Structure 1
Amino acid sequence: MRLPLRQICLSCTVFVGLSVVGEAKAAAEAQGTGTGKGHGTAARATPSSSGLSSSVIGQFTPQSEEITVTSHPVSANGVTNRTPGGGLMPKQTAPRSQSGITRDFIAKLSPTSNITSMLGNLPGVTVSSQDPLGMTGDHITMRGLDQSQIGYLFEGAPLADPINYQPYTTMLVDSENLGSVTVSQGSPDLNAPLYNAVGGQITATEINPSHKAGGFLDLSGGTHSANKEFIRLETGDIGHTGIRGFVSFSHSGYNNFRGPGGLFRYHLDSKFVKEWGEGNSISAIFSYNRQESTPWRNPTAAQWKQYGWGFSYNGVWSPGNSTYYKLARSNLNSQLVVLPMHFTLADNLKLHVTPYYVHQFGPSLSGENIPASGGYYGTEQYGDLNRGTTVSGNILTSSRDPWNQKTGGLNISADWNVTSTNTFSFGWWYAYTTHEELSDFSPVYANGQGWSGDVIRVNGKILSGYDLNFMQQVNTLFIADTQRLLNDKLTISAGFRVAMVSRQGTNLIPGADPYKMQGNYFEPLPQFSASYQITPHDQIFMNGTTSFRAPESVEAYSQIFDPNSAHAVMQPQSLKPEYSIGEELGYRHEGKFYNFSMSLFNLNMTNHQITSTGYIPNTNTLVASPVNIGGQTSRGVQAEIGFKRWHHFSPYLSGQYLHSTFDNDFNTGSGLLPTAGKIAVGAPKFTGAVGLNYDDGTFFGNFQLRYVDSQYTTFMNDEKIPSYITSDIGLGYRMKSFGRIKHPQVQLNIMNIGDNHYRSSAASYTSNAKAAVMKNGATKSGSSPTYMVGGNFAAMVSISTGF
């Protein structure tokens, strides 16, 4: 791997700089000039709002913490400096590989960060950025599996797209309201409302409202006109009702870091909590998001070599220019409601109920030239459109995809303490989803302005490439039993879950075959785990888990048409459910000076589906395109260590070795490519991270450096992304409270401090980039994958305060 000299120098400078700051501050305190350090009482745990049972196999339900501080609180944004590794290694007890982050880490990142962008330091987690501020996109891999194969839970509800499984974490919650994130790198919870988590689970929780009325204000600005304005208002305890809550609002935006265009986002969060008795609580969580951005263009390797950062949408308008940036827009809008409820029905019986509703909708827009006459509506040829301005026989249109999806669900579980050492758990999850997607076209005006509602029609019908109406129902049932033996040192759990997914839909485009599509899946999913507490500080664990994923995306069931083609440009595939069997053996230590964890893992998959995002031929419209590669085996070891504060420093290190291979030859439809034994795509052999945090209550800073090994992007291993290193730094200063102003602070975040230009991940995979000989002797021509480009240098200054 070749590292830029500037990257090495800057990394060394940051380490030395943080050390100097720490020594200078220590010397000042020794002379009596330093400020006092906060002294807090022990945290008081409140009932979790996740809606999941803590006794179920592998379950670690993050407990929301309320810190009562007797004097000198550390900060107004939730920093307590209690988590080892500067917030990167909270204590874990689940019998599986599991990592997490807390407010000690989250609050020191750029306030524009989203859930996914925060996780790149954790072992085995590879986050591929497209913008350095974390406002756009989600692309993450764990053990060679991407975000569509990872289950995402927010306050106990599954809030990823239930059909294409994209998490869209930028829509969920503002980072100022995010309490903690827990990552399970290999297996989901038995009772989690998920049916795609073959690669693990990510669980996020929101902060709890304060018992005191007040609020929090954060104003940020940075490079490329980046900005964010955030305010949260707290009600405090409302009389003697036991109710408290908050409402927050934010606006953020920037100009694109690569090419013209930009992003704006409006977001609203609210959470109200009612608590009574012992272990009874009801939470009401609401979120609204309105977001629009100019998407990034994904280059091939040749385009990256030729244009580099210059490969983007065109900033200059000309007639017929389908790559004009104002024609490319992506809208991510959502409304969500989650109502986690916990009830103590008896001393030995607890009930958890989480109803939720999610509405996600577009549209997404792109430019496309279509025939002025003689084009196609499905398989039917149309005549002269008599619309727009004709250039070389085509008219430039704004192609719109107004997807609209609604999901309602209910997750119920109960824990029955049969004896003092035995707990029986059972539950049921039901969800209903509708999805509508009718693409359309409208002519672009002479000044380059796009869609305005003037939709092109053919014989009175909207000209479209797909007119999809999709419905899905999910039912899952589970039972589990947990036995604690040897004075609670040995815990053994076994459980069984059955998942039933039913899908059906129609495509109303003329000539669509099939006109009606459906899929029904029934999967039994057993799990087993055991852990032994060797000492109060040392634990060993093992587990065996199974999980499955129903085929991804509506496009997996339906044809996609285009006016430029007499037949479908994308065909549905006969995809079987993805199924995984995983085993882990691990050890963790939670001690006076540091926390440590290490685990060995093995994952075997059948019907493994590689998720590839591709363009509809001759267009700028992106769709998900799943490909069944057959079996895949992933084996490796991961480890992390986080040190507790020593002279205000908290170091952290993590790493993973991964060996992931394809088990079968790839069927191209015309022959078999010899891919068995090849390294799996998107599976870097080595990944690692180093973190260093300093916080004395007044001055604070952190440094993060991440290494990602090279990754293959074709099944034949004939094209790959080079390895790369990125590093970030944060520096800040907190002031003393005065009057109603609580701990105002100024914070500087610098991302990609070496301004490393790199390809961060594949946007689309292919079987082979170069011509390859199949087993039948025929030659298959190559096609290049496309790539996401990593975010460049960026800086953000934030001024915040409580009140």
Structure 2
Amino acid sequence: MVIVPAYGQVSAATRNGSVNTSAAKARAKPPAAAARTAAPPAPQVEHITVSRHIPPTANGVTNLTPGGGLMPPQTAPRSQSGLTRDFIAKQAPTANIAALVADLPGVNFSSQDPFGLTGNNMTMRGMTQAQIGYLFEGAPMADPINYQPYSSMMVDSENLGSVTVSQGSPDLDAPLYNAVGGQITATEINPSHKQRGFVDLAGGTHSANKEFIRYETGDIGNTGIRGFVSFSHTSYNNWRGPGGLFRYHVDSKFVKEWGDGNSISAIFSYNRQQQTSWRSPTLSQWNKYGDSFNYSGSFTQGDPTYYGLQVTNMNAETVILPSHFTLTKHLKLHVTPYFEHQFGPSNAGENIPTTGGYMGTQRYDSLVGIPTGNGSVLTEGVDPWDQKSGSLNMSLDWTRGHNKLSVGYWYNYTSHQELSTFRQVYANGSYSNSPIIDATNGRILTGYDLNFKQQVNTLFIADTLSLLHDRLTLSAGFRAAMVSRTGTNNVPGADPYYKAGNYFEPLPQFSASFKITPHDQIFVNGTTAFRAPASVEAYSQIFDPNNSHAVEQPGSLKPEYSIGEEIGFRHSGFVNVAVSLFNLNMTNHQVTSMNYIPGTTQLISEPINIGGQTSRGIQAEIGLRRWHHISPYFSGQYLHATMDNNYNAGGGNYLPTAGKIAVESPKFTGAIGLNYDDGRFFGNFALRYVDSQYTTFMDDEKIPSYITSDITLGYRMKKLGPAKAPQIQLNIMNIGDNHYLSGGSSFTSNAHPVNTVAGGLYRSSTGGASTSAPIYLVGGAFAAMVSVSAGF
């Protein structure tokens, strides 16, 4: 609500929020005749009230964002999309960030979990989520080594304020060194100045439930400090196969503000999560078994596929301290220190030899306490990975006239330890708390004993110039990224025992934008980015007791480098439109493949260097402001991504992949959204289409295109006793119960026999035609959830 004096002491506001100064001046000017015949009367103040109806809600919905919360205004000189509480609050309360951005242009979300909590994968313009930078409140939240975002660990959706997706390039000052495919930035809600609370209780199919509560302190006396603390519990049974998930999560945020633009925030989160893993089929297994290809529901001695052995733990503790200081009228300082601790374990079943097996390349004769008569023993492979990462990101902005100069520095230190062990499985399916010992050398039997350290130093400088009354904006910058890594593997026979990688990359950027009118903007940019090799497996061998040699060799240590160009147009108003053309050229493009260690159910990361890749296309989105309580949204992308080189399959075998369509690069993707909200009744509808996707470099195997759709229905009251704006909401995911493969988990050179560039048949070391079947993610089927929420 805006209250405006009638006689022009301030500008009058129009209905749509823009300033109409001519109307204010007209009202302020007295009639000429009255001025000549009489003295002006004593001033009388008349007030004009200009308001926009915002229904009272307890979950942050305002219905002011076009497209039902999917198209907030953007002015950055690059392709950029986003979503706000208007959309977030109407999705299932279990949905994580990757699931929430699935409707935005260029985004391809591969669901395994219909509730959107975990077990998911995402690509953007054909780039995997390991090539996309994730920032939460200014701090990178992806694993700093394998770059997986684990977005379900970051924040509860009830506390998520907004998400911004930059489809092509990262910010120049972003603390990232993997964002060759773009950037996703998430922010938490700010605590209220008033003391209050919020409760959300949900239940659904597959015994799903979530309980969430948040308490906000309001302003604490005259300290200028306010904050909130929240707690949630979530659990469900897997929609396919036995087992399930439980999750405990804590979020808190406290803010201290003073003076002109000075603030310090203290953000903390804790996540404890355990889930029975999904089993990934090959295409032939999917065609034969469909959704029933799962882990065993009952225990049989010697069966490593028993679901009780397939457990993944995702635990994290995060502290972020974003701070902003106004040093002088022209000088501002931004400092963000942060610390994150992520740890496992991840478990899987495996039969290992009781005698004659291997620890590294060293043969063992027996295992302590394990009888040798049966030839093998069922074990639980335990991978208790432990990773700590601390950073400091700083920047200084100097503004003078139409020019802004920024300089900054980022430092990061990460340590990672990973000692795999094997535990004997008992007759009832439980397993020992003590690791198995190799009787030959007295050491814990292991397949990898890794110790990894990383340091990152990054400097940047950028200058932005505004001309023509701020209609033309030119920006140029340069970033120098230095990454140093060392890794050791203490398994006997590891070669190399020690390996290091040092990377220095100069990263220039340029952008320009021009406001044709206050509502129309064109932009162009040229950007560069790089990614250091993903995963510790790029530096260390992986061994297994069933093999005398490494089951995985270190990957390429060459950094991935990208050069991108975009040109785009956006229009804002009642109809909001954004269109952009893009081109991305990459060298040493590394495809991250998740595959099973042979003979086990243990997934490991396999980075594959496929050489160059070129991705070109067009993306667009259209969103309308609310009209008769309705807000529609449309998005789409056309992508043409090809490999630039023939693939080196090893042993002098080059496969003719140059010009082939890249894996995980659907030609067409699109989404339709429709939102309705009259303050009491509300609803959402979303339909997504994803074209077919190749999963081999030779384009000889792919998954079909698919369509999914979700719906939200709800009713909101103003008040019910002490409850403020209570509401009931129904979320239905995958309405049509479509059963489909949503994406690839592993990617291979070829699924069928193929001739090399030289003309010979590509053969394995055993002499047969070499083929390898990819494994796939199975898309989440129908699920429904009812939630009841209210403020207090």
Structure 1 and Structure 2 fold alike (TM over 0.5)? yes
Shift of 1:453: 3.0
Shift of 1:74: 2.8
Q: Is the 8 A contact 2:512 2:523 kept in 1?
A: yes
Greater Rg by CA: 2
Report what 1:783 is aligned to: 772
Q: Is the 8 A contact 1:285 1:339 kept in 2?
A: yes
Report what 2:166 is aligned to: 184
1:726/1:491 CA distance change after superposition, 3 Å: same
Matched, 1:795 2:777: no
Matched, 1:625 2:606: yes
Shift of 1:450: 2.5
Q: Is the 8 A contact 1:389 1:446 kept in 2?
A: no
1:348-497 correspondence to structure 2 within 5 Å: 348-385=330-367, 387-388=369-370, 392-417=374-399, 419-458=400-439, 459-497=441-479
Q: Is the 8 A contact 1:388 1:396 kept in 2?
A: no
Query: Residue by residue, what CA displacement relative to the aligned partner does 1:453-488 show, whole Å, maximum 9, x if unpaired?
Result: 344344321000000000000000000010001111
Report the secondary structure of 2:135's partner residue: strand
1:70/1:536 CA distance change after superposition, 3 Å: closer
Shift of 1:387: 3.9
What amino acid is the match of 2:634?
L
1:228-307 correspondence to structure 2 within 5 Å: 228-307=210-289
What amino acid is the match of 2:608?
V
Shift of 1:389: 6.8
For 1:226 and 1:662, how far apart are their aligned partners in 2?
Answer: 42
Report what 1:47 is aligned to: none
Query: Residue by residue, what CA displacement relative to the aligned partner does 1:644-679 show, whole Å, maximum 9, x if unpaired?
Result: 001100000000000000000000112110000000
Q: Is the 8 A contact 1:388 1:444 kept in 2?
A: no
What amino acid is the match of 1:537?
H
Report what 1:598 is aligned to: 579
For 2:173 and 2:51, how far apart are their aligned partners in 1?
Answer: 35
What amino acid is the match of 2:645?
N
Shift of 1:137: 2.4
Q: Is the 8 A contact 2:421 2:435 kept in 1?
A: no
Report what 1:607 is aligned to: 588
1:553/1:599 CA distance change after superposition, 3 Å: same
For 2:463 and 2:411, how far apart are their aligned partners in 1?
Answer: 22
Report what 1:14 is aligned to: none
Query: Residue by residue, what CA displacement relative to the aligned partner does 1:552-591 show, whole Å, maximum 9, x if unpaired?
Result: 0000000001100111111112330000000000000011
Shift of 1:452: 2.1
Matched, 1:722 2:689: no
Shift of 1:113: 0.2
Report what 1:695 is aligned to: 677
1:587/1:389 CA distance change after superposition, 3 Å: farther
Q: Is the 8 A contact 1:712 1:720 kept in 2?
A: yes
For 2:518 and 2:86, how far apart are their aligned partners in 1?
Answer: 25
1:319 to 291, 301, 306: 301
1:268/1:389 CA distance change after superposition, 3 Å: farther
What amino acid is the match of 1:601?
F
2:624 to 622, 638, 643: 643
What amino acid is the match of 1:639?
A
Report what 1:3 is aligned to: none
For 2:345 and 2:596, how far apart are their aligned partners in 1?
Answer: 17
Report what 1:81 is aligned to: 63
Report what 1:117 is aligned to: 99
Q: Is the 8 A contact 1:138 1:147 kept in 2?
A: no
2:496 to 505, 508, 514: 514
Report the secondary structure of 1:462's partner residue: coil
Matched, 1:537 2:519: yes
Report the secondary structure of 1:119's partner residue: helix
Report what 1:126 is aligned to: 108
Report the secondary structure of 2:781's partner residue: coil
Shift of 1:367: 0.4
1:71/1:713 CA distance change after superposition, 3 Å: closer
Q: Is the 8 A contact 2:79 2:166 kept in 1?
A: yes
Report the secondary structure of 2:284's partner residue: helix
Q: Is the 8 A contact 2:435 2:445 kept in 1?
A: no
Where structure 1 has 5 or more consecutive residues not aligned to the other structure, the ranges are: 1-39, 44-67
For 1:197 and 1:504, how far apart are their aligned partners in 2?
Answer: 22
What amino acid is the match of 1:99?
S
Report the secondary structure of 2:484's partner residue: strand
Shift of 1:778: 2.5
What amino acid is the match of 1:483?
L
Report the secondary structure of 2:103's partner residue: coil
What amino acid is the match of 1:786?
I
What amino acid is the match of 1:732?
G
What amino acid is the match of 2:656?
P
Deviating more after overlay: 188-197 vs 137-146: 137-146
For 1:696 and 1:762, how far apart are their aligned partners in 2?
Answer: 41
Report what 1:28 is aligned to: none
For 1:167 and 1:184, how far apart are their aligned partners in 2?
Answer: 16
Q: Is the 8 A contact 1:287 1:337 kept in 2?
A: yes
Report the secondary structure of 1:433's partner residue: strand
Shift of 1:123: 0.4
Shift of 1:779: 1.5
Q: Is the 8 A contact 1:343 1:352 kept in 2?
A: yes
For 2:315 and 2:556, how far apart are their aligned partners in 1?
Answer: 31
1:196-207 correspondence to structure 2 within 5 Å: 196-207=178-189
For 1:279 and 1:42, how far apart are their aligned partners in 2?
Answer: 24
Report what 2:31 is aligned to: none
For 1:72 and 1:531, how far apart are their aligned partners in 2?
Answer: 33
For 2:555 and 2:727, how far apart are their aligned partners in 1?
Answer: 54
Report the secondary structure of 1:105's partner residue: helix
How many pairs align? 739
Shift of 1:391: 8.2
For 1:535 and 1:731, how far apart are their aligned partners in 2?
Answer: 39
Report what 1:9 is aligned to: none
For 1:159 and 1:360, how far apart are their aligned partners in 2?
Answer: 10
Shift of 1:278: 1.1
Report what 1:226 is aligned to: 208
Deviating more after overlay: 658-667 vs 68-77: 68-77
Report the secondary structure of 1:772's partner residue: coil
What amino acid is the match of 1:423?
K
Report what 1:773 is aligned to: 755
Shift of 1:336: 0.2
Name the Cα RMSD after superposition.
Answer: 1.6
1:603/1:714 CA distance change after superposition, 3 Å: same
1:521/1:106 CA distance change after superposition, 3 Å: same
Report the secondary structure of 2:745's partner residue: strand
For 1:790 and 1:83, how far apart are their aligned partners in 2?
Answer: 30
Q: Is the 8 A contact 2:368 2:437 kept in 1?
A: no
Q: Is the 8 A contact 2:366 2:438 kept in 1?
A: no
Q: Is the 8 A contact 1:96 1:543 kept in 2?
A: yes
1:658 to 629, 635, 639: 639
Report what 1:146 is aligned to: 128
